[in-house]
Amino acid sequence: DSKRRVRNGWQAFTPELAQRQQDRLQIETHLRRAADNDEFHLVYQPQVDLRQGRVIAAEALIRWENHQLGEMRPDLFISHAETTGDIVRIGGWVLREACRQVHEWREQGHGIIRVAINVSYRQFLAEDLAISVRDALAEFDLPGSALELEFTERVLIEDAPDTVNTFMALRELGVMLTIDDFGEGYSALNYVRRLPIHGLKLSQLFVQGVPDNQSDVAVCRAVAAIARSLGLGLVAEGVESEAQRQFLLQLGVPVGQGFLFAPGLAPDEFVHRLGRSPDFAHA
Ligand code: C2E
Ligand code: MG
Ligand code: MG
Ligand code: MG
């Protein structure tokens, strides 16, 4: 076995490493063809008014079903797609599919439901997002207010020269701009006031621990205070329990998303949830 080890600081060749490289290649090969083969779909997770349970928007989450690999979660394949660059095409598909769905809901008489999509930083760099978004809205005859874009904290940190201009152009279209998983990655406080965004999404990393874990409580409190004092909207992610909902309400967090309300839903299930009476009419 030692004969197989590579000298000079190269990584040792082990069966596990070989397996991992094999897996990576397999994922990347299938990923390349996935869009053409129609293997992606979107599910829609409700964003809910924490007081009344009314659905006020949806987050579109991508799902990939491949005949050989089975059902692949985004946490497993988005990073590969970012490495290979496939994320740009996938992201374009997500944008158009979300707009198509909102259009279809409108045709069916459900009104215009705002849908949030996730935008990878790589995708943000690769294309003129304001143009793709403008075109997708026009294609499906939608106002900008039908769409929300969620960016990772990286867009704050990297502070690329064109970011502010792109955000301004998106804002002029009427599109909502949000920083996803806020608080997870970096200390973004210095940057968050520089970009013309509408809101933050409090990371589920911290929501999970409330109301018992005191440091999670402190982070949630701090993010809520930041959002309030900067005049930003705030959505709590990963709300799983009634105790969490109560705690967040007390903090003044208006909106939540999580398994307490619903997971990502197929379009017709989502519409069914929209029509149902709220979960906490008497809260
Ligand atoms: P995210 O944007 O922060 O989305 C929230 C994730 O948390 C989703 O996982 C959702 O299913 C999960 N979640 C929702 N409620 C709860 C809860 O109460 N408890 C727990 N434990 N989890 C909850 P999902 O769908 O597996 O997506 C994972 C990540 O993959 C997303 O995190 C996002 O960063 C990325 N992603 C998903 N769809 C897309 C996409 O279309 N484009 C890009 N670029 N990234 C995407
Ligand atoms: Mg998101
Ligand atoms: Mg998130
Ligand atoms: Mg996340």
CB 88 within 8 A of CB 122: yes
Mean pLDDT of the chain: 89
Beta bridge partners, 159, equal none
Band of the pLDDT at 188, cuts 50, 70, 90? low
Give the DSSP letter of residue 66.
Answer: E
Q: How far is the CA of 107 from the centre of ligand 2 (A)?
A: 26
Q: Which sign does the torsion angle of CA 216, 217, 219, 220 carry?
A: positive
Q: Does residue 137 carry a pLDDT above 80?
A: yes
Atom of ligand 1 nearest to the CA of 181: 3
Could you give the percent of the chain with pLDDT greater than 90? 72
**Range with the lowest mean pLDDT among 54-63, 88-97, 174-183?**
174-183
Which residue among 61, 82, 242 has the greatest number of ligand 1 atoms within 8 angstroms of its CB, and so is best to mutate?
61
Per-residue model confidence (pLDDT) at position 89: 94
Band of the pLDDT at 193, cuts 50, 70, 90? confident
Band of the pLDDT at 2, cuts 50, 70, 90? very low
Q: What tens digit of pLDDT does each residue of 77-105 get?
A: 999 999 999 999 999 999 999 999 999 99
Q: What tens digit of pLDDT does each residue of 10-56 get?
A: 556 677 878 888 888 889 999 999 988 999 999 999 999 999 999 99
For residue 207, give the nearest of 179, 175, 174, 184 by alpha carbon. Answer: 184
Band of the pLDDT at 3, cuts 50, 70, 90? very low
Q: Does residue 259 carry a pLDDT above 90?
A: yes
| 167-172 long-range contacts, CB within 8 A, separation 24+ | 167/195, 167/196, 167/197, 168/196, 169/130, 170/129, 170/130, 170/133, 170/144, 171/196
Instruction: Return the higher-pLDDT residue of 184 and 168.
Output: 168
Find the mean pLDDT for residues 152-179. Answer: 90
Determine the straight-line distance between the first and last CA of the chain, rounded to whole angstroms.
Answer: 64
Please enumerate in sequence order all residues whose Cβ is within 8 A of that of 153, keeping only pairs 6 or more positions apart, or say none. 179, 180, 181, 182, 184, 185, 186, 188
Strand 199-202 relative to strand 176-182: parallel, antiparallel, unpaired?
parallel
Q: What tens digit of pLDDT does each residue of 219-240 get?
A: 999 999 989 988 999 999 999 9
Per-residue model confidence (pLDDT) at position 183: 73
ipTM above 0.95, yes or no: yes
Atom of ligand 1 nearest to the CA of 91: 42
Which residue among 41, 115, 118, 129 has the greatest number of ligand 1 atoms within 8 angstroms of its CB, and so is best to mutate?
118
Q: Does residue 153 carry a pLDDT above 50?
A: yes
Q: Does residue 115 carry a pLDDT above 60?
A: yes
Residue whose CA lies nearest to ligand 1 atom number 45 = 118
- E strand or H helix that includes residue 149: strand 147-151
Instruction: Return the higher-pLDDT residue of 5 and 78.
Output: 78
Per-residue model confidence (pLDDT) at position 278: 67
Per-residue model confidence (pLDDT) at position 13: 65
Q: How far is the CA of 266 from the centre of ligand 1 (A)?
A: 15
Q: Is 256 in the pocket of ligand 1 (CB under 6 A)?
A: no
Could you give the percent of the chain with pLDDT greater than 70? 91
How far is 115 from 182, CA to CA, in rounded Å?
Answer: 19
Q: Is 264 in the pocket of ligand 1 (CB under 6 A)?
A: yes
Q: Is 92 in the pocket of ligand 1 (CB under 6 A)?
A: no
